[in-house]
Chain A
Amino acid sequence: MQSHDHFFRDAADASAPLLLWALHFFAVYIFVALACVSTLIDAQLFGYPLIKNVSLLLSLLAILLVAGLMRRAIFLYRKTSQQLLSLARLGCAVLGVIGIIWSTVPMLILESCQG
């Protein structure tokens, strides 16, 4: 029998928002950790602290991307709502959006290099 499975494609499709969350999380974590012990600590961008601005820009980019993934997930869910993949795609998108927004909140309310 021939199989026409695309397991990795489907798995990546469904979990893309969570992968994006992971990418965003580790990117901002590593960036802040590295930048706070480098000469970037006092650098400015458009008159504001560079570290905070870059982190927020990364977050904005991640939010835009995950919003795009969510829009696509909603569109595909409406077409094939009974499929596991459809709901997995949508569910991961919702959790991805929440995860990225929550990770962004500390950037809005805290100084970048405290502690």
Chain B
Amino acid sequence: MKRAGWYVIAGFAAGFAGMAGLHGMGAAAPAALRQPKSASTGASAVPSAPARTTGPAARAGSSGPVRTATGIVEQYGYGELAVTVTARGNQITSVSVPLLRTAEPYSQQLAQQVIPMLRAEVLAAHGAQIHGVSGATYTSVAYAQSIQSALDKLHIK
């Protein structure tokens, strides 16, 4: 076959451009962080307690009783996690991850590297509106989702 190579190269260029274009559209904005798909599950796989709220309803300001809530267990591609938020009034005072399970060790390492960064973001932003950590998009999305559900339980906006 004459010029077989050229046909393959032409196809390669088209396929590459097509796939890169498709991907570009999906990833242009941190879309995953803005419109995350919730994939929460029942409590079967959850060792820690599902959502629980302590204390009375929220009051404005940073005064008031200390309340704690754990968000829903978020499953992401490589594992699942849940985030616990502690707040005094409407002020988030601490964030922790009582549940982290991954499919394999690599994701575990990655999550452990990333979770402190995400916590810092949340504390800085006073809420779930975080940018996430690039290179750990799934973990970031799951983290933000779980935080949001915890905040909802605490009626913190």
Do A and B bind? no
